[in-house]
Amino acid sequence: MIEEGSEIEVDLDRMAHGGAAVGRHESLVCFVRDGLPGERVRARVESLGKGGRFANARAVEILNPSPDRRSYDWAPADPERTETPVGGVDYAHIRPEAQRQYKAGVIREQLERLGGMDPADGLLTDLTVQPLDAPSDEGWRTRVHWAVDDSGRLGMHPYHGSDIIPVEDLPFAIAGINALRLYEGEWRSIQRIDVAAPACGNPPLVVLTAVDGVVPEEIADDIDVELGMCLPTDEAVGAVILPAPRSGRSRGEKPAPVVVRGSGDVVEELSLPDGSSLRFRVGAGGFWQNHRAAPERLYDLVGQATGLAEGETAWDLYAGAGLLTAALADRVGGPGTVWAVEGSPVTAADAEFNFGPEGRARTPRAAQTQIVTTRAGVEQALARWGTPSREAHGGADPVRRNRPASRYSPEPSSIPDVVVLDPPRQGAGRKVLERLTQIGPRRIVYVSCDPAALGRDTGYLAAFGWKLAEVTGLDMYPDTHHVETLAVFERA
């Protein structure tokens, strides 16, 4: 009888969504972490599915190694050197070329299984995951976070675990993050530390989240001293202390964040082919792509995928700080209109600033583009807006450009030619996609960070009369099972 803790031999045949390899032990389906297709492994069962229909396990011995297997230099994440490796790098034991092949297979499977696509469709048989260029001697992540243990030391959690394993340098982080040496500090009143370090070399930002019951203002001086002991003396670094996520809710109030150093945000720069650059303010807790090469690649690929012409109208839903808004504005030019919708108050404020009078996120071609930033959840914004007219042109009263959403916010007066979606991991969902179908753009460009969500949403769009016209994967999360996908949908 197989139970938790049992060790079994499993022949693995494919990679599943989520990072595990799939195989069978007799009739039992097994999802095995740290395994690879083609391998026979000895695996320890960690949990059983309802009714014992499947097992989640971890490979403890590789009996027949795959040629796609490699050793990983970072000991805290190497399952061959530690009993409890940290999470977050679950593909690190796989050669980079093979990682991309497995990720492409996962995207195909989700589009077939959840999206209802034919496995023989050329879009799927030709689908690849493209690497992103990055310096080979540096890491790729410009955003990282650590948990903080009871002694105030930095660490990471193991896979699906709550323990905190001490770590120091992070090989996947860019050099500017490791140079901060935050692991030398003792952060006793802090539960989590996030760092954002722009790849362009602009000053990084350290965001410290206080433990429950601690008021940021009361620990600001101590945190400033601790930062001074860790940081290089010549390093310009911003630092912000945030209250615990649930702090103050029982009293109907919440302590305010405190800026300890710098301005409380970072400035990201996007290099353009002509040698100029765009600048984007991103506040503490705001969203920006993790991979150092991702912003430029997405800016180019999404802009091209829209097929927008000068004077047209585009909507950027889940707009973040405005990276793709800038790409759309450059495409539609001065006579065009872009509506940017973002639900996060911090990130929506960043987008409003970036395209306002003091912002520098417009190309010369987009200097006069009407850009309307709306702070609202996408589903709520679409439900509130009426269906625009095909005859109307433009977007809203230009006096109201770059205003945050409120009950007095303008509404679009013309149907968008193209809608760009870059939703969070759960995807856009049925209601948003059904509403967009009613509104009637000619094209939807969908940027997805989760193949299963893309598969589900592809199925919804097919039911609403859309077809997948283009799809490609982007390896924006090397050494992990995560993958970005760019998909273009047109009317069937």
Structure tokens at 343: 């639900």
**Coil, strand or helix at 489:** strand
Strand partners, 205: 196, 238
**Coil, strand or helix at 80:** coil
Give the helix/strand (H/E) hosting 56.
strand 54-62
Which of 476, 462, 489, 482 is closest to 112 using CA atoms?
A: 462
Structure tokens at 75: 């000991």
**Coil, strand or helix at 354:** helix
How far apart, in Å, do the first and last CA atoms of the chain sit?
Answer: 51
**What is the C-alpha to C-alpha distance for residues 433 and 48, in angstroms, rounded to an integer?**
36
Q: What's the DSSP call for residue 204?
A: P
φ, ψ at 96 (rounded to 5°): -55, -40
**What is the C-alpha to C-alpha distance for residues 152 and 424, in angstroms, rounded to an integer?**
31
Structure tokens at 248: 């103050």
Strands across the sheet containing 418-421: 129-131, 466-475, 484-491, 443-448, 418-421, 313-317, 337-342, 370-375
Relative to beta strand 418-421, strand 313-317 is: parallel
Catalytic, out of 30, 200, 230, 449:
449
Specify whether the CB–CB gap between 283 and 262 falls below 8 A: no
Give the helix/strand (H/E) hosting 463.
helix 451-463
The H-assigned helical ranges of 319-391 are 323-332, 345-354, 378-384
Which of 378, 476, 466 is closest to 427 using CA atoms?
A: 378
Determine the Cα angle at 158 with ends 98 and 183, to 5°.
100
Specify whether the CB–CB gap between 365 and 334 falls below 8 A: yes
Give the helix/strand (H/E) hosting 458.
helix 451-463
**Coil, strand or helix at 248:** coil
Specify whether the CB–CB gap between 241 and 208 falls below 8 A: yes
Which of 365, 266, 280 is closest to 320 using CA atoms?
A: 280
User: Is 449 annotated in the active site?
Assistant: yes
Indicate which residues carry an active-site annotation: 449
